[in-house]
Amino acid sequence: MAVAQPSSPAFGTADLSNCEREQIHLAGSIQPHGALLVVRESDQTIVQASENAGAFLGVDLKLQGARVRALGGDLWEQTRRRLPESVATIPIAARCLIGARSDSLNTLLHRTSEGELVVEIENGGQSPDYSEAIERAVQSIVAATALQPLCDESARIFKEVTGYDRVMVYRFDEAGHGEVFSETKKPDLEALLGNRYPASDIPQIARRLYERNRVRLLADVNYEPAHLAPRLSSISGKDLDMSLCFLRSVSPIHVQYLKNMGVAATLVVSLMVGGRLWGLISCHHYAPRILHFEMRAVCELLAEVIATRIAALESFLQGQGELAARRLEQRMIEWVSRDGDWRGALFDRSRPLLLPLAATGAALIFEGEVQSTGDVPGTDQIREIAAWIRPRLGQGVFSTSSLVADEPAFAGLAGLASGVVAVGISGQDDEMLIWFRVERVRTVTWGGNPFKPPSSGDDPSELSPRRSFAQWHQVVEGTSDPWTAADLSAARLIGASVKDVIVQFRAVRILMAQDQLEQVLRQVRSSDQQIIVADAQGIILESTATFNELLSIERGAVDRIDELADYFTDRADSRRKLNALQTDGQPWRGEARLETTRGETKAVLVRADPVLATSGRVLGFVLLFADLADRKAAEAARRRFQEGILRSHRKVSRGIDFSTEAARQNLMSAVIENAQLAALEITDGTNLHDMPALLESVKTSVARVAEVLDQLALATKDPEHAGPGGRS
């Protein structure tokens, strides 16, 4: 028998000091409300079986080594008919007849990475037409316009559909801690809404399994597990990987955890947003409860629709931040043209700078000077914070909701600067924009004391994660409200806008202050943007290295801006626009295509402006170029998304066999409407860098819904009784 490494305790052998690494996917046993067989497909031989399988199936024979056909019924015929070459994501569903059982059974089939065919069998549930209920629920989900109402409605829908005593929408924060964000329950139950639970309550191994196996059922916390015989698979020589098994036994520690809460049965459904585990829909019942495959499939379908809506709403919030950033950029441009500076746009009125991030203060460090607005520390303290942040900027943005926890030396600043977000605004390390949030002393309600050392013992019943689940209140000091993804997105966008304006501002200073030319040119030269600065005669004074790389040319290869026309694919049109820029001071905004010296064609966004003195005299010109490769990738992602939606629509239309064609069309229209709405809000509200991944996430979610619906349709069809190997 394979020996587990000490750092990864085998299933059922962990205590609370190492349960984070318990190999829960190698359980070696199942919950007994079903049966499990492992089959070698080459000769249809059963190589492993749960010890309750014979009794559950009503067959009186030794299962290990027997052929599947020996069971009687049509299991193998249904398996061959349903099973494609690859089953790695969602098990395939079928109805079949087995052994002496007169009723049809639900079967779920999948292959492991070792090549074992896993056959899980459970009692067949009722087969009503779920299409109307699903359509009604989807329309209700799509109608939600904010996250809290969406989660409240989702909890209500799941309680109505599943009948569990308590349904919670459980949301994870960036540290992995969970919060009961929404709840609906029987009136006599204690409310858990708002309770927080530490990240350690759900180990990382369990979280990865939630990502793969989206619906997890525990029918009875007092169940006696049915072990697999033999323990090791003769195909792989290892413990069976039960990651996708719906019957897989539950860790004894988790079972004890639920018993401590007084919970008798659970259903947990994953919410995957943007490829990450955003949260869970957690259903508790206070008596044993089994949910058959058909209803579990409906739950998974609804969870995918909810997750798609969450992605849309979060993207909308990011879009609001982008809109605020664009407005601020316009104000800065106006200030440059009016007063020759841009900083007044940030500090003339504080609200445009503070509102996008809901900050209480902000500070700009630029060219050695500090300007601030709102509630901020003193100037020297701001410089100290900036010096501490500088090596931590990393990808251009830094955030913390507890500066004191990260650096105790700032303990005296907790009242004004508990929360900090900073972005770089130029190529200079010491130039940045910082937002602050004041301390918010608050009471966090935990479901049990998260800091209490766990008790442990040899008997799993003695392992007590937290024996008392009475609410435990923690007064949190030295922290601010946490920064959201939308806050950080707004910070990046504002930082990028300030960076653009600084480049133009410094270009203006090149043309207005010749005695400082070399210093300012170095500042522009260090920019990572594609920029050309020319004088009033069109002679190029500076072109950045990134622009030269864009055209694959050496520095100085282009002397005048009118020579740039030779590098555009539409030379006549570009020459006309460059002439209009120089002779009439007419700005050029728009997309164009450049041809590099290597023969490559690149799509770019051109932004060319004359620089005017206060008298109106032209001092020179500034041209900025932006490579549109990211935008093209986003457009390709949009096209792939639309094509994927259409394919999913056709697939589901073929597979579902609900009562009427109208019901099928109404259901698919609701699902597609939700996905299309999410796609529109994502494309309108998300920056180009994140857009392809989010669209791919929505497309994947729709495809998963289509597959779940397909399985639901297959599982609700009656098996065929006739044919070789059928019931005799």
Residues 112-170: pLDDT tens digits? 888 889 999 998 866 666 777 788 888 889 888 888 999 999 999 999 989 999 999 99
> Does residue 170 sit in helix, strand or coil?
strand
For residue 186, the model assigns a pLDDT of 93
Cβ pair 70, 53 in contact under 8 A: no
Question: Can you name the residues that pair with 592 across neighbouring β-strands?
Answer: 604
- Domain 318-441+477-499 sits in CATH 3.40.50.150: no
> Does residue 722 sit in helix, strand or coil?
coil
| One CATH from 3.40.50.10800, 3.30.230.10, 3.30.450.20, 3.30.70.260 for 1-124+222-260 | 3.30.450.20
DSSP 104-119: -EEEEEEE-TTS-EEE
For residue 230, the model assigns a pLDDT of 92
Please give the helix or strand (H or E) that residue 497 lies within, else none: helix 485-512
Q: What is the pLDDT of residues 389-447, one digit of tens each?
A: 988 887 678 988 888 888 889 888 878 888 899 998 887 778 899 999 988 755 555 55
Please give the helix or strand (H or E) that residue 266 lies within, else none: strand 265-273
Out of 428-432, 475-479, 628-632, which region has the weakest mean confidence (pLDDT)? 475-479
Return the structure tokens found at 282: 């957690």
Phi, psi of 232, rounded to the nearest 5 degrees: -95, 145
pLDDT, average across residues 351-374: 86
Nearest-5° angle of CA 123, CA 124, CA 126? 135
- Domain 513-627 sits in CATH 3.30.450.20: yes
Q: What is the pLDDT of residues 649-692, one digit of tens each?
A: 554 444 444 444 455 455 656 666 667 666 666 665 555 566 66
Edge-first strand order for the sheet with 601-612 is 540-543, 530-535, 618-627, 601-612, 588-595
DSSP 611-668: EE-TTS-EEEEEEEEEETHHHHHHHHHHHHHHHHHHHHHHHHHHH---S-HHHHHHHH
Give CA–CA dist 446/452, Å, rounded: 12
Give CA–CA dist 437/415, Å, rounded: 9
SS3 track for 484-495: CHHHHHHHHHHH
DSSP 266-325: EEEEEEEETTEEEEEEEEEESS-----HHHHHHHHHHHHHHHHHHHHHHHHHHHHHHHHH
For residue 64, the model assigns a pLDDT of 87
* Mean pLDDT (the chain, rounded): 78
pLDDT, average across residues 199-221: 85
Residue with more model confidence, 706 or 514: 706
Q: Which residues, at least 6 apart from 44, have a Cβ–Cβ distance to it below 8 Å?
A: 67, 68, 69, 76
Return the structure tokens found at 264: 């008798």
Cβ pair 124, 34 in contact under 8 A: no
Instruction: Give this prediction's pTM.
Output: 0.64
> 433: closest CA among 507, 532, 356?
356
Residue with more model confidence, 561 or 199: 561
Return the top range by mean pLDDT from 324-328, 428-432, 630-634: 428-432
Return the structure tokens found at 267: 């259903």
Residue 327 binned pLDDT confidence (cut-offs 50, 70, 90):
confident
Residue 65 binned pLDDT confidence (cut-offs 50, 70, 90):
confident
Q: Does the pLDDT value for residue 622 go beyond 90? A: no
pLDDT, average across residues 97-114: 83
Separation in Å, CA 582 to CA 534, 537, 540, 559, 589: 10, 8, 13, 15, 14
> In one letter, which amino acid is 554?
E
Give CA–CA dist 223/234, Å, rounded: 28
> Does residue 30 sit in helix, strand or coil?
strand
Give CA–CA dist 400/662, Å, rounded: 52
| Pairing, β 276-285 against β 265-273 | antiparallel
Query: Taking the domain 130-220+263-291, which CATH number applies?
Result: 3.30.450.40
Give CA–CA dist 45/65, Å, rounded: 6
Residue with more model confidence, 271 or 314: 271
Return the structure tokens found at 90: 């969602």
Determine if the peptide bond prior to 230 is cis (ω within 30°).
Answer: yes
- Taking the alpha carbons at both ends of the chain, their separation in whole angstroms is 40
> In one letter, which amino acid is 374?
G
CA atoms within 13 A on the CB side of 333: 10
Q: What is the pLDDT of residues 222-241, one digit of tens each?
A: 999 999 999 998 888 889 98
> 478: closest CA among 505, 522, 444, 448?
444
Separation in Å, CA 312 to CA 323, 647, 679, 681, 682: 16, 21, 7, 6, 6
